[in-house]
Amino acid sequence: MRGAPRFEPTRARLRRALLACIGILYVFSIPWYREPGTTTDLWLGLPAWVTTALLCYLAVAVLNSLAWHLHEISDEDESGPT
């Protein structure tokens, strides 16, 4: 593209990094690390694994909005009228 800004590859790399972080957060939000039958601490009035999952989902929402903000959406239809 001739009119594309020079920082476009950086934006694409940053967007891919944000999406990778989202994947990592989803894996971390699953309480696979807990021992079966153990009691859990309370964080913010919720079991620790619930609070961890909710904070991960909140971070996913923020990172996803940033990733979409970096995505270029064209308003023009390049195929022309049909």
Q: What is the CA radius of gyration of the chain?
A: 20
- Between 66 and 34, where is the model more confident? 66
% of the chain with per-residue pLDDT over 90:
34
- Between 47 and 73, where is the model more confident? 47
Per-residue pLDDT of 20-51, as tens digits, reads 999 999 999 998 877 887 778 888 889 888 99
The pLDDT value recorded for residue 23 is: 94
The token pair that represents 58 in the structure block: 């909140």
Instruction: Report the alpha-carbon distance of residue 53 to residue 57 in Å, rounded.
Output: 6
